[in-house]
Amino acid sequence: MSDKKKFIPEKTVERLSLYRRILKYAKKDGISSIYSHEIADRANTSAVIVRRDLMNVGHNGSSRHGYSVDELISCIHRFFNGARQVNIAIIGMGNLGIAIRNFIEAEEMQFQFVAGFDSSSAKIIDDKFFLIDELESVISDLSVDMVVIAVPHTVAQKVADRVYETGVTSLVNFAPIRLKAPDSVHVESIDITTLFEKSIYFGNIFKNDVCDNN
């Protein structure tokens, strides 16, 4: 990883991902060029922040023509993974794992689902599905870049420890538990229960504020 990537703030990286989705939707709508204030409006931020963020991918727009949508998509694409394909494996092929696979395959991104693992042979439904016993060898053979963990919390840490041993450095964790990881591995945890509880808590605060003011 370059120093330039290493020191870019996490929030900036998140916004760049959002900008790429915005640009993809704009391209589908037939838009070939776009201004920073138009991106900002769709991203619910400011044009100043958009321009500053996009400088991190080495792309400057024109005050007259704005940004080329195709060129900007390519620049952000290269920023995230050098424009190469990212091979993703999913561990846990229940309803959640299948939904994540379907999302990856439906999105026009550089991500590609290459392997799904489960402890049940009944879930081996095509040649991209494997038993969990084959985890290490398949990850190596298919050059997996990222692993998604969608297993029960009782086995999530054990599974993650096996993944760490393969040398994979990117994990997305959907298990409702905080994983312990070595410093050389980045783990993004998606705790759906916490998201729901935060939403209802703050929603109730706003609701009560409205009621109190009436």
Can you give the residue ranges of every domain in the chain? 3-81, 94-194
Would you say 87 and 143 are in contact if contact means Cβ atoms under 8 Å apart? yes
Q: CA distances (Å), 154 to each of 64, 72, 181, in order? A: 57, 43, 16
Global confidence as pTM: 0.83
> 78 vs 95, which has greater pLDDT?
95
Two tokens, residue 147: 């692993």
Q: What is the pLDDT of residues 17-46, one digit of tens each?
A: 999 999 999 999 999 999 999 999 999 999
Would you say 110 and 84 are in contact if contact means Cβ atoms under 8 Å apart? yes
**Residue 147 DSSP SS3:** strand
Strand 129-131, strand 146-149: pairing: unpaired
Nearest to 23, CA basis, from 212, 61, 211, 138: 61
Is residue 83 predicted with pLDDT exceeding 70? Answer: no
Domains 3-81 and 94-194 share a fold: no
Distance CA 209, CA 198 (A): 17
How far from each other are the two terminal CA atoms of the chain, in whole angstroms? 54
Nearest to 117, CA basis, from 127, 132, 103, 104: 132
CATH code linked to domain 3-81: 1.10.10.10
Q: CA distances (Å), 89 to each of 92, 126, 138, 193, in order? A: 10, 14, 9, 23
**Predicted pLDDT at 5:** 46
Confidence tier at 50 by pLDDT (50, 70, 90): very high
**Predicted pLDDT at 189:** 94
Would you say 86 and 115 are in contact if contact means Cβ atoms under 8 Å apart? no
Q: What is the pLDDT of residues 60-73, one digit of tens each?
A: 767 677 899 999 99
**Predicted pLDDT at 3:** 43
> 193 vs 41, which has greater pLDDT?
41
Is residue 1 predicted with pLDDT exceeding 60? Answer: no
94-194: CATH topology? Rossmann fold (3.40.50)
